[in-house]
Amino acid sequence: MTLFDDLQRLLGVDQVQDSAQAEAFLRDRHGRFVGRVAAAVHPRDTAEVAAVVRLCGRHAAPIVVQGGNTGLMGAATPDASGRAVLLLLDRLNRVRQIDTDNDTLTVEAGCILQQVQEAARAAGRLFPLSLGAEGSCTLGGNLGTNAGGVAVLRYGNARELTLGLEVVTADGQVWDGLRGLRKDNTGYDLRDLFIGSEGTLGIITAATLKLFPLPAGQCTAFLAFASLARAVAFLSHARRGFGAGLTAFELLSVDCLRLLREQFPASPLPFPDLEQPWYALLELSDHQDEAHARALFEQVLGDALENDLLVDARIAASLAQGEALWRLRETMSDAQKRAGQNMKHDISVPVSRIVEFVESTDALLQRHFPGVRNYTFGHLGDGNLHYNVAHAPGRSVAEHMADYAALSRLVHDSAHAHGGSISAEHGIGQRKRDLLARYKSPVELELMRRIKQALDPRGLLNPGKVLPEASA
């Protein structure tokens, strides 16, 4: 029996597709990586996932698990060998339990993030993980990449929002670690090891997540700054003024806003004249009420205006206006995708070194690649910038690609030299895999390899991702 026949026997004919039928899942969002598979399968529950993993083990077939395929590192795309089985968890989309006394929610990994947020809201609670792809990414992918997004500043990334996991191991056993405990010091933390491992250590099938109170009032504003240094100083001011109420602080350069206007002319900008170099989206969540939120918001913004931290502010007068401001921020990635020739750098540095990083890296790029354009935006409150770069107009795709590696090396070296990371929230996948050897110490890489060897000794889970070849 072939693997394909065995899979059809195990799951039923309808749950198994061949490479041609699964074509839509075999390329990443930007079409940079394209693969082939022996089969794509849609198991219905954890037991079926475990059975698929055991069957693949018998055939020595690699397994690539994919959620919404919104990841930006090619981590969910199989290689071109056609040997792998693509595991699609869209049928594992049940909400298993909501425990409002414990403030936890247990959901399956194939749930779309938005569905998880809605389940929490229906129970009068907040699940705060929030990102532009939330309408199509899955919880499994969020945990696989340890996703960040726009609320990390207040609530933490996916890892910090997770209390327990259910995982199918590389040899097809089920680890039931769905504990709803905020305190549990009983040995090594397997949960935190699986989160962020990009499908290379185990298949996450369900998770128990932390819930939070829904805010009673929220205020949103778009702010204009005379310099990046002022924006960073304003952030400290807002942290002092709002305390835990500060739930988002998202930066956009003036060139990002110009690009948004160019690509989405129907979406009005809050500052049409675009006179300042930097802008930010600010959100306050308040647990008293709307009036209290607004009074505090106006006071903190008023103080900042008086002290010249801020040039101007547009406060959303309604929920709809607030949502329109958020949409601008969330379409930034799409705007760059439409414009093309985008060299992405998802870096982080300590907030205290952001200004120095941006100024020195901008200068370095102009010296070595005159005319390139920076589109810098992102999660300033977390020290995480999408330091994205595009060539001057008129540059051919071939010329663009020729410069990409050298330009990226400058940016990554600069982030590293500023005490930063070359991947703050998007992971490593295949795109950044070979960079790890340059930025991680041999000791750290060796420990990572030993973990992989211990949990997946046959190397069948998502091969070719995250870990560079031993000689690299």
Residues 198, 250, 283, 382: which binds ligand FAD (CB under 6 A)?
198
d(CA 381, CA 121): 25
Nearer to ligand 2HG, 201 or 281 (CB): 281
Partner from ligand FAD, ligand 2HG, none binding residue 468, C-beta < 5-8 Å depending on class: none
d(CA 232, CA 336): 25
Among 64-72, 257-265, 291-299, 401-409, which window interacts with ligand FAD (CB under 6 A)? 64-72
Among 68-76, 120-128, 262-270, 401-409, which window interacts with ligand FAD (CB under 6 A)? 68-76
Residue nearest to ligand FAD (CB): 141
d(CA 43, CA 56): 13
Among 37-45, 70-78, 313-321, 452-460, which window interacts with ligand FAD (CB under 6 A)? 70-78
What is the binding site for ligand 2HG (CB under 6 A)?
132, 332-333, 344, 378, 386, 388
Residues 327-346, mask of contacts with ligand FAD (x by CB under 6 A): ------x-------------
Residue 216 near residue 290, CB atoms below 8 Å? yes
Smallest distance from the beta carbon of 438 to ligand FAD, in angstroms? Answer: 21
Partner from ligand 2HG, ligand FAD, none binding residue 332, C-beta < 5-8 Å depending on class: ligand 2HG
Nearer to ligand FAD, 137 or 223 (CB): 137
82-141: which residues touch ligand FAD (CB under 6 A)? 89, 109, 131-133, 137-138, 140-141
Partner from ligand FAD, ligand 2HG, none binding residue 344, C-beta < 5-8 Å depending on class: ligand 2HG
Place of tokens 């170099």: 277
Among 69-77, 228-236, 270-278, 392-400, which window interacts with ligand FAD (CB under 6 A)? 69-77
Smallest distance from the beta carbon of 427 to ligand FAD, in angstroms? Answer: 6
Q: Residue 95, class by beta-carbon neighbours within 10 Å (0-12 exposed, 13-18 middle, 19+ buried)?
A: middle
Among 117-125, 144-152, 230-238, 355-363, which window interacts with ligand FAD (CB under 6 A)? 144-152
Q: Which residues pair with 65 in a beta bridge?
A: 87
Partner from ligand FAD, ligand 2HG, none binding residue 256, C-beta < 5-8 Å depending on class: none
